[in-house]
Amino acid sequence: MELLAIDFLGKPLRLEGSMAGWQQLFWDNTLVSQIAAAPTDTDQFTHQFELSNNEQTIQCQLNGTLSWQPFLIHYQASADQQMIVQGERNDKDIERQQPQQVIVPEKRFSFIGLASLGMKALKSAKLIKVVLASASLAAYSWLFSIQFALALLACLVFHEYGHIRAMKYFGMKTKGIYLIPFLGGLALSDEKINTRWQDVVISIMGPAFGLIMSLACMIAYWITGEMFFAGLAVFNALLNLFNLLPILPLDGGHVLKSISFSMNSKIGIIACALAAVVGVILSYRLGLTLFGFLLIMGSLEIIFEWRQRHQSHLLPLDRYGQIFSTVWYISLVAAFVGIIAYFASLGDSLLSLPLQILGT
């Protein structure tokens, strides 16, 4: 990930690195110094390099201290033992930065390139959104009624709007919402995230907005007594609950991966594994057999990939972020399970269907 980007002797000086310990220093997009990955307890770093200017060699140095949790980097850059620039950066600076874009060389004309350009234009057009939305409406109308299908699409759009709002909060440009028949929806952005906190917030805000929708429908059911609102509340809760499963590319997979990959010790991953075990046991105790099985599969996937966490370009969560994200995630899961269990207790066969699905 990009740790530092400053102006040095009239050209950009950029420092890339990861928790694995490796660092690469670029001056005007040219590699001038690097540090190999190695387990170390020190937070100090030093880069020494030479720059040539009008047949004159300048001895340069970049040194400082780097802390990952919480993220804080102090730096000093000098030329011929004279201080040029110094300062510090924290996690908020990382969130707001725009990563260095690699310049793609110009390619000659080709029919394949033209077709690729056409596909990109199609993806960005409003027409494809209308087509997908119409297909989704037709698909859900075939399964349910047209009224319920329209309401279900509204729930999906509201869920995806939660992702959009989170992206805009971090200053990211969005491309809108795409509805996909039988699969839900998709909120797209051309920009990449820089931190695990961004990944957590963007991922979890979809289910959070979904919870608001289910609660609103439940209140509408209490006021009007209409079973339409009850069915919408419980099925919307089921869709969002499955979205919180720790399986990539679902929202829950992104949240749990960001939490576990931010734990920089064996104690942390052991605690994460124990939490998963408790979740599985609780799922089976509550009769949520399917949810427990998928929880096992998703947790194993994350644990197997945990050793590669240091190679990620994303800034990890600090301790507060890990705890807050875990509590937020568990609270959402508990809320959706509670809504599903409540409507199942009313005795209606249709409203009990989501709980029966979870118990298969």
Taking the domains of the chain in order of start, what are their residue ranges?
Answer: 2-96, 123-191, 193-359
Number of helices (H), then strands (E), in the chain:
11, 10
151, 232 in Cβ contact below 8 A? yes
Query: String of b and e for 188-218 (b: at least 16 CB within 10 Å)?
Result: ebeeebbbbbbbbbbbbbbbbbbbebbebbb
250: region left, alpha or beta (phi > 0 left; psi from -120 to 50 alpha): beta
Q: Which pLDDT belongs to residue 66?
A: 87
pLDDT along the chain (360 residues), means of 10: 85 82 85 76 82 81 85 89 89 72 45 50 56 66 73 84 89 77 67 86 93 94 91 88 80 84 66 68 68 67 61 77 90 92 86 74
CB atoms within 10 A of CB 70: 14
Q: What is the pLDDT of residue 308?
A: 60
Query: What is the residue type of 183?
Result: L
- Sign of the Cα pseudo-torsion (121, 124, 125, 127, in order): positive
Give the model's pLDDT for residue 39: 58
Q: What is the pLDDT of residue 360?
A: 64
Say what the pLDDT of residue 260 is: 78
Question: Rounded distance, CA 277 to CA 320, Å?
Answer: 23
| Cis previous bond, 70, omega within 30 | yes
Report whether the peptide linkage leading into residue 246 is cis, meaning its omega lies within 30 degrees of zero. Answer: no
**pLDDT, position 104:** 42
Q: What are phi and psi of 7, to 5 degrees?
A: -90, 130
pLDDT at 210: 92
What CATH architecture does domain 2-96 belong to? Beta Barrel (2.40)
pLDDT at 335: 94
> How many residues in total does the chain contain?
360
Query: What is this structure's pTM?
Result: 0.70
Are 196 and 314 within 8 A, CB to CB? yes
Question: Exposed, middle or buried: residue 136 (CB in 10 Å: 0-12, 13-18, 19+)?
Answer: buried
Residue 49 C-beta-side C-alpha neighbours within 13 Å: 19
